[in-house]
Structure 1
Amino acid sequence: MDIGSLLLALSLVIIVVAFVAQPLLDRAAARREAASPADDLISQREAVLIELRDLDFDHTTGKIGDDDYAAQRARLVAKGAEVLRALDQRPAADLSSDSTDDDIEKAIAAVRQGKSAKTALANFDDEIEQAVAAVRKGGGKPKAARASAAPPPEGPSCLNCHQSIKAGDKFCPHCGTPISHACAHCGQPHLPNDKFCAKCGAKLNVASEAA
């Protein structure tokens, strides 16, 4: 086979490969364009909630000092408020249905119902705390994973191993984790800085509920 035939064959191969690959490249580009900014904001919100949960746990277990904890927590709460503000500025049609099933959406609803931005921002911290409690209750797993997981215990459960405990226990009988604070309504343990119970949703009063 001469050089001319080889070049012709190579050209044909390149044309065929380009023809076959073009639809795949077009679909990949379409998927990238379909990912809306709202989806990215929702992912950022979920990440903030998980970071807050992990930070609270590290502080409770002594892995992080009080000064570092306060600074990091303030940064995360501020970041969460910024994400909520950005979400509120998105058209309602841009938000997926999954973005409306968390307690944190109450802050967004407050703005849309006509409350001032200042009032809504003042409540963001509480709303973030409620969402953190919801994430902690589900063990930080994605929604799809939580749907197939075993149902949580009906009564109080350990924050560390999530096994059932009895109201009034000072230590988890399964993993030995100390229980220093518990909800006065349902007996569910909580972290010192929690504002809402992850079990029943009641507002917590750490001063009166310390075990």
Structure 2
Amino acid sequence: MSVQQTGSGPKASAAAPITARRAATRQRLLTAAAAVIAERGANGASVEAICEEAGFTRGAFYSNFSTKEDLLYALMQDKHQFLLDGIRRILDETAHAPVPAGADVIDDLVDKVLAANPVDRQARLMETEIGLYMVRNPEQAPVLQQVMQPFHDELARLVMEGLARAGRRLTVSTEDALTLLIAGYETGTTHLWFGPHPGEQSELDACRRALTLIIKSMSEPV
């Protein structure tokens, strides 16, 4: 399957600038795809269903994405960018701000990052379904790794910056640290929607505690 696309993605062309109209069309397709995938799953989200939800023809779809897989990769990249932007913003905003009295630096950063990156039910369903799609289609693994690598590299840098802010260092490899953090985040934000009180503050608090525990268990004071 082709993984090239003309809009954005692992092999996007830099030769053709995206017009405002085309960018708006692309965003409508991504928004529609997220809704359809959350409702029907990634396998059940046909190009036709996505176009119908967006109010476009197949021509509009294929002028932005070569295949449905290209659109899935774009959704993942947008998700990653949103998360990274939120973490960067928190680190910038707290660079010279005092930690609230009685608070721990790690606790405070995790709290702020989760608040800056809300995960609604549709987003969690979409992310889970895309993950399942990749498991069911292992031939996509090389492209998935290519898509994920810039995210992993920047997340590693931000994690190290946050730990330095807290006066801590990793006691495990960076790769293992990212695996633990991503697993904790995905599990925590999934439980947020099927715990005893779906979507409520108590479930978010449980996610926050788990992430804080993971970070502290794999690091130590400098």
**Alignment TM-score > 0.5, same fold:** no
Structure whose CA Rg is larger:
1
Higher helix fraction (1 or 2): 2
Higher normalized contact order (CA 8 Å, seq sep 6+, divided by chain length):
2
TM-score of the superposition, structure 2-length normalised?
A: 0.33
